[in-house]
Chains A and B, each alone.
Chain A
């Protein structure tokens, strides 16, 4: 038997639907207005927020570890202070976060950390949210089960339902951190303290990657994937935006060696560094800024297919190397970050850079940005919702 609704009931139903829709749009507008001042461009990319505890757990991260002070998780710790340069907030509460993305908490990230992409372009287009630091292997969950409706998500023996561990996924994506090597007294330290170093002094500390500790801006391998071969070398079986959905990185620290800079600098390194500085500028230490993988690999003594430094063939790298790189002890012996949770903003256009977000990039002593290109791009994104036109 077919029940034909009475006409007035149908009308009432339509009206009810319209009212609900209007209410939803009004609420959405209200919530959007809470987090952003009026933006004159299409806004459809929500700004970044911290993931919720469940999302961390189902992706293999122990939230109890993450909520320790040393991990510095946004939403609990580091509300003020670095990276905020002026005592402002690094994050704020925002009820739209979990509406836009149910996998997040209502903690919206204001500190927008800048970096060079690892594609060799030297562009100022990577922006990330440095949410928390992962200090040792105990942060990786071995077992977790979430029953939700008819579905169960299980982390068993450290492996996600696809059979991968978070540690192995994150190990494919490197964030390159450049810590200051000029110590407070003005001495150049050619080696890191801790397990990455050669045990000599002076050494530079590796316990913090907060922006004031950096000599230059980051470089992120967010472009890596196996499909187009961008991973280079032996293929990366994972894609950053496909598999690394927490946006985790393993930190690769890179530094200038004894031969590269300081009193024992070799003539070869001296010439190469001068040439690199002429195109990339210099860091807070007075060393050249390194923006690409080829530049770093070449200075480390590896033959590369390009000629990354003007006047020098890529097939004739320095020997000994002018730079070196390494990762911290995964057992936590270095007391610094081995991994970081800092997802790259997939598309920083059209609202992802909120009006109240601020740029977190390396600054000179006078407060200006070391690489003004990041500021320019950030401002374009924040005010127009688009990257700057290529000509500007």
Chain B
């Protein structure tokens, strides 16, 4: 080899310089490279099943890798969701995607129309089912204010051995038996019935379920008040008696998941909750889990009626920095519904049933459950679960009432003996009317009629 061969001639130098100019900066200035990568920020309520959130985060980040995006997922405790969402709306900035555990109808003016996402998903998996549709669509403005990809049924959990002591090993079945059997059970075993009545998500869902179970409601299908009826009074009278006959003072002050902890400690005989309760029990204490059974919601005035413990609703703010990517990830995450169902340990029921086509088979033979058919009680859950806001859609008034804990406070005040059922009903009616009027006047077509 001659020395000439090892030298770099002018032509080679130019070639190298050109290549360096073309590719060099990425290696030389990595910060600049990251800056060109888009960032997608997701806020998500903290799941009840601890294993779910790490999986979700990794799935979201994996999506980011495939789409040249940096994905940041912030997990927010359920009890802080409302405040954080309100703060972002007020500031006009925040996350690109905000995932609520309930229908965020009151933010309908601050979000994009999610019809496009539903259409994208429909090409793969068909239309969203009725519960998802009625939880995220406002027929007055013909806008999907959120995208619902999953939901959680809220069955009655009960200790079969406790209830067997009072002749109800198959569960209390209807509201009267919950009270009468619950009274006998507390008298005999000293174990109270543990429906959540405190200002938590569990308390909110439970008290709304009670209200609807007695034929009451917040608004009718026509958008007019429904809370001002005798059915509300009857529901309140019932809860007063239920609390007196079979309750415990602790249920009035429980924090988040207080009803779950009471069940896990065998300190209550029953509660209304998502099956995350049972999943925790199966992991922590399989013997205890064996004793907990579930049944559809109690038979009441309107037959068997329940509300979803969680309606998993994603919104893309209309002030989101990265709307296109936000829309895409919300749509794409539906591809993971089957894994989401598994990672949530069966809590997250899909809104697009083709994503988990063997759902019923899974419920009939669950590998963690003893007996394995325990979750079979959920296979009709879509029949007996209605959206928050039933008989209407989940509208801004209903959801503002929900997030203001008006219904929960109404029940709590009666259980505590602070108000009579009639007074509590009147007070709540006035509050609901104020909210309805506000939306009517401020929102025009956005509000109920």
Contact surface of A with B, Cβ cutoff 8 Å = 136-138, 140, 156-159, 163, 165, 167-168, 171-172, 174, 195-196, 198, 226, 231-237, 250, 297, 300-303, 315, 317-321, 324-333
Q: Name the segment of B8-16, B175-183, B189-197 touching the other chain.
A: B175-183
In contact, B234 and A321 (Cβ under 8 angstroms): yes
Given known A167-B173, A330-B172, A333-B184, contact A195–B302 (CB-CB < 8 A): no
Given known A137-B170, A159-B373, A163-B364, contact A237–B383 (CB-CB < 8 A): yes
Q: Name the segment of B71-79, B121-129, B225-233, B270-278 touching the other chain.
A: B225-233
List chain A residues, Cβ under 8 A from B169.
Answer: 137
Identify which of B215, B224, B233, B304 contacts A172 (C-beta below 8 A): B304
Is chain A's binding surface mostly helix, strand, loop or mixed?
Answer: loop
The 8 A CB mask of B360-393 against A (1 = contact, 0 = none) is 0000100000010100110110011110001000
A-B contact pairs, 7 of them (CB 8 A): A163-B364, A163-B373, A301-B234, A303-B226, A321-B230, A329-B180, A330-B168
**Pairs of residues from A and B, 6 with the lowest C-beta to C-beta distance, nearest first:** A301-B230, A331-B167, A195-B180, A233-B302, A237-B383, A321-B230
Query: Is residue B303 contacting chain A, with contact meaning CB distance below 8 A?
Result: yes
Q: How far is the CB of B406 from chain A (nearest CB, A)?
A: 19
CA distance A226 to B382 in the complex (A): 12
Query: Is residue B158 contacting chain A, with contact meaning CB distance below 8 A?
Result: no
Given known A317-B230, A329-B177, contact A234–B385 (CB-CB < 8 A): yes
CA distance A329 to B304 in the complex (A): 17
CA distance A327 to B177 in the complex (A): 8
In contact, A330 and B234 (Cβ under 8 angstroms): no
Which residue on chain A has the smallest CB distance to residue B224?
Answer: A315
Query: Is residue B220 contacting chain A, with contact meaning CB distance below 8 A?
Result: yes
In contact, A236 and B383 (Cβ under 8 angstroms): yes
Query: Is residue B306 contacting chain A, with contact meaning CB distance below 8 A?
Result: yes
Q: How far is the CB of B449 from chain A (nearest CB, A)?
A: 13
List chain B residues, Cβ under 8 A from A165.
Answer: 170
In contact, A332 and B303 (Cβ under 8 angstroms): no
Given known A137-B168, A331-B167, contact A325–B304 (CB-CB < 8 A): no
Which residue on chain B has the smallest CB distance to residue A171?
Answer: B299
Contact surface of B with A, Cβ cutoff 8 Å = 166-170, 172-174, 176-177, 179-181, 184, 215, 220, 224, 226, 228-231, 233-234, 241, 295-296, 299, 301-306, 364, 371, 373, 376-377, 379-380, 383-386, 390
In contact, B173 and A330 (Cβ under 8 angstroms): yes
Q: How far is the CB of A30 from chain B (nearest CB, A)?
A: 46
In contact, A234 and B176 (Cβ under 8 angstroms): no
List chain A residues, Cβ under 8 A from B306.
Answer: 234
CA distance A138 to B163 in the complex (A): 13
CA distance A123 to B229 in the complex (A): 30
CA distance A71 to B285 in the complex (A): 41
List chain A residues, Cβ under 8 A from B224.
Answer: 315
**Max count, chain B CB within 10 A of own CB: residue among A157, A174, A195:** A195
Which residue on chain A has the smallest CB distance to residue B165?
Answer: A331
In contact, A331 and B181 (Cβ under 8 angstroms): yes
List chain B residues, Cβ under 8 A from A300.
Answer: 215, 230-231, 234, 301
Given known A234-B302, A318-B230, contact A136–B383 (CB-CB < 8 A): no
Given known A302-B215, A302-B301, contact A331–B233 (CB-CB < 8 A): no
List chain A residues, Cβ under 8 A from B299.
Answer: 171, 250, 327
List chain B residues, Cβ under 8 A from A324.
Answer: 234
In contact, A319 and B371 (Cβ under 8 angstroms): no
Which residue on chain B has the smallest CB distance to residue A320?
Answer: B230
In contact, B229 and A157 (Cβ under 8 angstroms): no
In contact, A320 and B233 (Cβ under 8 angstroms): yes
Which residue on chain B has the smallest CB distance to residue A226?
Answer: B383
List chain B residues, Cβ under 8 A from A231.
Answer: 303
List chain A residues, Cβ under 8 A from B173.
Answer: 137, 167, 171, 327, 330
Q: A137-B167, A302-B229 are in contact. List 5 more A-B contacts (CB 8 A).
A: A163-B373, A196-B176, A331-B177, A331-B181, A333-B181
Q: How far is the CB of A132 from chain B (nearest CB, A)?
A: 19
CA distance A167 to B174 in the complex (A): 11
Identify which of A136, A163, A167, A196 contacts B379 (C-beta below 8 A): A163
Given known A157-B371, A235-B383, contact A195–B376 (CB-CB < 8 A): no
In contact, B296 and A301 (Cβ under 8 angstroms): no
List chain A residues, Cβ under 8 A from B380.
Answer: 237
CA distance A318 to B436 in the complex (A): 23
Given known A226-B383, A235-B383, contact A330–B181 (CB-CB < 8 A): yes
In contact, A236 and B303 (Cβ under 8 angstroms): yes
Which residue on chain A has the smallest CB distance to residue B217?
Answer: A303
Which residue on chain A has the smallest CB distance to residue B299?
Answer: A171
In contact, A234 and B305 (Cβ under 8 angstroms): yes
Q: How far is the CB of A391 from chain B (nearest CB, A)?
A: 36
List chain B residues, Cβ under 8 A from A303.
Answer: 220, 226, 229
List chain A residues, Cβ under 8 A from B230.
Answer: 300-302, 317-321
In contact, B384 and A325 (Cβ under 8 angstroms): no
CA distance A104 to B379 in the complex (A): 31
List chain A residues, Cβ under 8 A from B301.
Answer: 297, 300, 302, 325
CA distance A226 to B383 in the complex (A): 8
List chain B residues, Cβ under 8 A from A235.
Answer: 383-384
Given known A231-B303, A234-B384, contact A317–B177 (CB-CB < 8 A): no
List chain A residues, Cβ under 8 A from B168.
Answer: 137, 330-331
In contact, A195 and B179 (Cβ under 8 angstroms): yes
CA distance A195 to B183 in the complex (A): 10
Given known A171-B299, A250-B299, A303-B226, contact A330–B174 (CB-CB < 8 A): yes
List chain B residues, Cβ under 8 A from A138.
Answer: 167
Which residue on chain A has the smallest CB distance to residue B305?
Answer: A234
Identify which of A136, A198, A236 contacts B167 (C-beta below 8 A): A136
List chain B residues, Cβ under 8 A from A333.
Answer: 167, 180-181, 184
CA distance A137 to B293 in the complex (A): 15
CA distance A233 to B384 in the complex (A): 9
Which residue on chain B has the smallest CB distance to residue A221?
Answer: B303
CA distance A172 to B305 in the complex (A): 11
Q: How far is the CB of B191 from chain A (nearest CB, A)?
A: 16
List chain B residues, Cβ under 8 A from A321.
Answer: 230-231, 234
In contact, B176 and A329 (Cβ under 8 angstroms): yes
Which residue on chain A has the smallest CB distance to residue B170?
Answer: A137
In contact, B180 and A302 (Cβ under 8 angstroms): no
Which residue on chain B has the smallest CB distance to residue A318?
Answer: B230
Q: How far is the CB of B213 from chain A (nearest CB, A)?
A: 10
CA distance A300 to B230 in the complex (A): 7
Given known A301-B231, A303-B220, contact A234–B167 (CB-CB < 8 A): no
In contact, A326 and B167 (Cβ under 8 angstroms): no
Given known A165-B170, A300-B215, contact A330–B177 (CB-CB < 8 A): yes
List chain B residues, Cβ under 8 A from A136.
Answer: 167
CA distance A63 to B337 in the complex (A): 45
CA distance A341 to B433 in the complex (A): 46
Which residue on chain A has the smallest CB distance to residue B296?
Answer: A168
Which residue on chain B has the smallest CB distance to residue A199?
Answer: B241
Which residue on chain B has the smallest CB distance to residue A253?
Answer: B176
CA distance A315 to B385 in the complex (A): 25
List chain B residues, Cβ under 8 A from A168.
Answer: 295-296, 377
Identify which of B167, B179, B226, B303 contacts A233 (C-beta below 8 A): B303
**Max count, chain A CB within 10 A of own CB: residue among B184, B230, B299, B390:** B230
List chain B residues, Cβ under 8 A from A195.
Answer: 176-177, 179-180
CA distance A329 to B170 in the complex (A): 12
Q: How far is the CB of B165 from chain A (nearest CB, A)?
A: 10
List chain B residues, Cβ under 8 A from A234.
Answer: 302-306, 383-386, 390
CA distance A375 to B28 in the complex (A): 98
